[in-house]
Amino acid sequence: MKYISTRGAMAASDFSEILLGGLAPDGGLVVPREYPQIDATTLQSWRGLGYGELAFEVLSRYVSDIDAADLRAIIARTYTAEAFGSEEITPVLELEPGLHLLRLSNGPTLAFKDVAMQLLGNLFEYVLAREGRSLNILGATSGDTGSAAEYAMRGKQNVRVFMLSPDARMSAFQRAQMYSLCDPNIFNIAVTGVFDECQDLVKAISNDLAFKSRHAIGTVNSINWARVAAQVVYYFKAWFAVTTGSDEQVSFSVPSGNFGDVLAGHIARMMGLPIATLVVATNENDVLDEFFRTGCYRVRRASETWATSSPSMDISKASNFERFVFDLLGRDPDRLSSLWLRLANEGSFDLAGSADFASIGRFGFASGTSRHADRIATIRRVHERYGVVVDTHTADGLHVAQSHRVAGVPMICLETAQPVKFAAAIREALGEEPPRPSAIVGLEERAQRFTRMPADVRLLKRFIAERCV
């Protein structure tokens, strides 16, 4: 398996070469040259595999240059009952016949991003040791990515983490989870601005190739290819959990922000997993819903990016979306580049009326928007009906899923975080505190360590240069 760029100007590369990088050198996103195909016989032969074995089958098709035994060992170290709460790693709960919850948030930071990030921590450590290198990870987070990255990288040799987060835009719990980490290789930077300004700072540094190579800057934000690949695994796992035959279709509803999680579903579908519909559920920041309904992709300004009660989906542009549009355009890097040039110049592009958009149905996407009142009502309804407390993001997915259910096709809703991370909304919906896992009792009372900084790339560069490995 070789990797190329959506913009067409990167030499075909191996997995280890792209693992530690962010954007491709031409400014595009790294994608596999083709999607490995899993035929029905192979798929059926994977039924009954444990999570780690299944992860090896899926990931070994993307990891070109890590010894198979080493990859197995890395996967086995990562996906343990100790780290993820059960042998199943991502258990599926039936809420009612035809409606399921894929539980992805039992890792160390109680959000689905752990599933990919814990693997990334071990992959980074392995490749850095093999090559005698060190790495300074720069990332932007609207909450869950940052803590997942920090918990994956804390204490790792030859790795430092510089994590930008939007000051005062995260829940008290999210802040405590990140800022209470005192490992000396972890640096939390609270930027006075919104998430997209954090992301722009990361992009500015990623585009400064001299600075990037001088300080060995890498990234773990949601454009990291290995993260997307790791997420593909649980779509397979969930499909096995709710089907018995090899051609049974299922649908997924995915609470979406940067389009990383649902992109993994798209890739699973492109590999041949029988997925009927991939429901893209957004909150009030509905850039993606607008695109799938109208063909117009219109990024929002910071002033038009709402702070919502599902904050990990508060984005104004979806950083992984370019990977899907690449497929939509028949993987034509020239047309992709000109669309993204228009996006940079005009803030939008419109595919309505194009042959590409007319045929978008072949990718199986549907979409919808969930607002504050919808997610509160959903949390209440799910609690009353099934005795399960879900968080606000998961509630967005469940709400939007309701209008896309089809008789005979199981709908699997991705649970992306534990409700304890968003306690205020749970109190509003249920009038009670969310269940609190014992590992995090007293978290908010722990001492916090972070640096506050304006959205200024020169200040950030100086901070990193003084502290990197």
Ligand X SMILES: *Cc1c(COP(=O)(O)O)cnc(C)c1O
CB of 311 to ligand X, least distance (A): 9
Give strand pairing partners of 368. Answer: 281
Provide DSSP, 274-336.
-EEEEEEEE-S--HHHHHHHHSEEEPPPGGG----SSGGG--SS-TTHHHHHHHHTTS-HHHH
Of 347, 339, 345, 259, give the one whose Cα is nearest residue 303: 347
Known catalytic membership, residue 113: yes
Give the sign of the dihedral formed by CA 459, CA 124, CA 231, CA 356: positive
CB of 170 to ligand X, least distance (A): 11
**Quick one: tokens of 85?**
């709460």
286's CB contacts (< 8 A; 6+ apart) are 369
Q: Which residue has the tokens 């972890």?
A: 186
Q: How many CB atoms lie within 10 A of CB 183?
A: 15
CB of 115 to ligand X, least distance (A): 11
**Which residue, 126 or 195, has its beta carbon nearer to ligand X?**
195
Provide DSSP, 150-212.
HHHHTT-TTEEEEEEEETT-S-HHHHHHHHT---TTEEEEEESS-HHHHHHHHHHHHH-HHHH
CB of 391 to ligand X, least distance (A): 7
**Quick one: tokens of 444?**
């908010």
d(C-alpha 380, C-alpha 389), whole Å: 8
Element (H, E) at 8: none
- For the chain, the farthest-separated pair of C-alpha atoms sits apart, in whole angstroms, at 59
Amino acid at 384: E
**Which residue, 182 or 424, has its beta carbon nearer to ligand X?**
424
**Which residue, 187 or 321, has its beta carbon nearer to ligand X?**
321
**Which residue, 13 or 174, has its beta carbon nearer to ligand X?**
174
Q: Which residue has the tokens 């209008």?
A: 403
**Which residue, 168 or 182, has its beta carbon nearer to ligand X?**
168
Pairing outcome for strands 99-103 and 92-96:
antiparallel
**Which residue, 144 or 286, has its beta carbon nearer to ligand X?**
144
d(C-alpha 164, C-alpha 154), whole Å: 16
**Which residue, 280 or 464, has its beta carbon nearer to ligand X?**
280
Which residues are at the interface with ligand X (CB under 6 A)?
Answer: 111, 113, 144, 222, 255-261, 312-313, 393, 416-417
Q: How many CB atoms lie within 10 A of CB 355?
A: 8
CB of 157 to ligand X, least distance (A): 27
Instruction: Single out the catalytic residue among 113, 156, 212, 237.
Output: 113
CB of 212 to ligand X, least distance (A): 23
Phi, psi of 186 (to 5 degrees): -115, 125
CB of 466 to ligand X, least distance (A): 30
Residues annotated as catalytic (active site), given as ranges = 113
